[in-house]
């Protein structure tokens, strides 16, 4: 068993509270990062609570042209996983720093994850291949394709959510309606044409049902997120209504009907291309929190807003960090006393800094910690976070000269 190393952390609570008025109740966070890593070539990690205080970590391992999706199970605070298994391998995968698999544990105990596989020669032509495990991730059934339009376009930026019994609800960005868009152009490493947000439900029979187009014009390559709130579902994503790239929310009621989208906050951000920087959401009791980056006012801002109950508007956003070198790349999880735990990539001079902070139920910042300094750029990917039983597991990609490596850290109050 590898002993965890204590990460050097810094407390900015008092200074930040004075600077932007976010200081909340006094508290303390501990951060411990085991030396365990899946090794060189591992990247695009994600993490979810797997029940009984366990966490399931997924990542993609590249070896030449071969990609492998792997899953590791961690007991709370363990320095190493209890087991690691392969979901699938292949050479026709879409392996990308911004668009990556995740995993959901369904209400009946099934595990569901997916890979993105090329459907044609075009760089951004790929489909969603969903796979299911009936034994807690030890073995996996053959994949089924969720999007059934058959067009060689983007189908990605997927969010998964348990939907009762053996059902999983998926939402994703879908380029089928923009395939012939004459105004498509490249931004970063994505081609931006007209993009839609779509949904489907898949049970054990592998047949997509309840397929729906939720939004006819979204940002083309920002991550989505989806959470349960009571008997309803909330989806957050970056919209593109009238060219404004603000964060929108869609809700599905208890009867399965999707409502019209609303704006979380009117930043009024306009820019010529997709920022590849989506929102995150978490629910704690009746409270729904949304965390997102925006550059509506110049430098990149990371903002947090909370809706106290279903049907209530979001409160005025709290500014978490602002700076020309801030990268965003946010995630969010429920935390103690009705609050939330957030992670994002901030900045200190030329360095990117992976940060975590806790917020109380009113959105006031408590303790903030710097987890690791990282070189800026795409290679560090999008850190992910999950919590259960008073602890959280944070994962990110650590760039190295010989290739990236997935890392993890335990967060505890």
pLDDT in tens, 22-58: 344 445 899 999 999 999 999 999 999 999 999 999 9
pLDDT band at residue 378 using 50, 70 and 90 as cut-offs: confident
Q: DSSP strand E in 308-350: where?
A: 318-323, 328-334, 340-348
The model's pTM: 0.91
Residue 356 reports pLDDT greater than 50: yes
- For 281-300, what is the mean pLDDT? 97
pLDDT of residue 254: 94
What the block records as the tokens of 223 is 């991550």
Name the one residue in this structure whose structure tokens are 């089928």.
Answer: 176
CA distance 184 to 192: 5
Cα distances (Å, whole numbers) of residue 35 to 7, 27, 31, 365, 405:
11, 26, 13, 29, 11
CB-count burial class (<10 Å; 0-12, 13-18, 19+) for 23:
middle
Structural contact between residues 132 and 108, judged by C-beta atoms closer than 8 angstroms: no
- For 206-217, what is the mean pLDDT? 98
CA distance 39 to 398: 10
* Domain spanning 5-412, CATH class: mainly beta
Total Cβ atoms within 10 A of residue 3: 9
For the chain, the average pLDDT equals: 91
pLDDT of residue 192: 57
- For 296-305, what is the mean pLDDT? 96
- For 392-396, what is the mean pLDDT? 98
Kindly state the greatest CA–CA separation across the chain: 56
Helix, strand or coil, per DSSP, at residue 320: strand
The residue extents of the domains of the chain are: 5-412
> What sign does the dihedral 319-324-330-336 (CA atoms) show?
negative
Residues of the chain with pLDDT > 90, as a percent, come to 87
Residue 350 is given by DSSP the state T
Residue 73 reports pLDDT greater than 80: yes
Residues of the chain with pLDDT > 70, as a percent, come to 90
pLDDT of residue 379: 86
Q: Which residue has the higher pLDDT, 388 or 4?
A: 388
pLDDT of residue 393: 98
pLDDT of residue 377: 83
Residue 143 is given by DSSP the state P
CA distance 357 to 321: 11
- For 119-146, what is the mean pLDDT? 97
- For 331-337, what is the mean pLDDT? 97
- For 201-207, what is the mean pLDDT? 98
CA distance 263 to 266: 7
pLDDT of residue 278: 98
CA distance 319 to 364: 10
Structural contact between residues 339 and 29, judged by C-beta atoms closer than 8 angstroms: no
Total Cβ atoms within 10 A of residue 126: 25
| Least confident among 12-21, 126-135, 380-389 | 12-21
Residue 4 reports pLDDT greater than 70: no
Residue 404 reports pLDDT greater than 80: yes
């Amino acid at each position: 068993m590898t002993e965890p190393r204590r990460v050097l952390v810094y407390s900015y609570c008092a200074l930040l509270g004075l600077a932007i008025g976010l200081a909340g109740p006094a508290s303390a966070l501990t951060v411990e990062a085991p030396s365990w890593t899946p090794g060189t070539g591992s990247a695009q990690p994600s993490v979810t609570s797997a029940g009984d205080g366990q966490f399931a970590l997924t990542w993609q391992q590249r070896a030449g042209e071969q990609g492998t999706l792997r899953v590791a199970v961690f007991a709370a605070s363990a320095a190493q996983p209890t087991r690691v298994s392969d979901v699938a391998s292949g050479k026709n995968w879409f392996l990308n720093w911004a668009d990556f698999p995740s995993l959901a544990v369904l209400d009946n105990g099934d595990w569901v994850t997916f890979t993105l596989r090329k459907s044609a020669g075009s760089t951004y032509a790929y489909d969603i291949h969903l796979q299911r495990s009936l034994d807690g991730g030890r073995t996996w059934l053959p994949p089924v394709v969720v999007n059934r339009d058959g067009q060689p376009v983007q189908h990605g930026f997927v969010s998964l959510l348990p939907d009762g019994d053996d059902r999983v609800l998926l939402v994703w960005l879908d380029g089928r309606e923009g395939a012939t868009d004459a105004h498509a152009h490249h931004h970063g490493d994505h081609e931006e044409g007209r993009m839609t947000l779509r949904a489907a439900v898949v049970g054990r029979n592998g047949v997509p049902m309840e397929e729906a187009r939720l939004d006819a014009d979204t940002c083309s390559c920002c991550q989505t997120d989806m959470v349960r709130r009571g008997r309803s579902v909330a989806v957050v994503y970056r919209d593109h209504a009238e060219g404004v790239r603000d964060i929108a929310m869609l809700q599905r009621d208890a009867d399965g009907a999707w409502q019209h989208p609303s704006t979380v906050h009117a930043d009024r951000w306009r820019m010529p291309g997709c920022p590849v920087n989506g929102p995150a959401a978490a629910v704690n009791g009746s409270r729904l929190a949304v965390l997102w980056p925006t550059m509506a006012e110049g430098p990149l801002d990371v903002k947090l807003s909370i809706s106290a109950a279903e049907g209530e508007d979001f409160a005025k956003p709290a500014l978490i960090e602002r700076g020309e070198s801030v990268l965003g790349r946010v995630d969010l999880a429920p935390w103690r006393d009705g609050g939330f735990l957030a992670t994002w990539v901030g900045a200190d001079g030329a360095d990117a800094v992976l940060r975590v902070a806790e917020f109380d139920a009113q959105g006031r910042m408590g303790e903030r910690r710097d987890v690791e300094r990282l070189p800026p750029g795409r290679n560090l990917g999008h850190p992910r976070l999950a919590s259960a039983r008073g602890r959280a597991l944070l994962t990110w990609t650590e760039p190295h000269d010989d290739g990236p490596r997935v890392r993890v850290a335990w967060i505890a109050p």
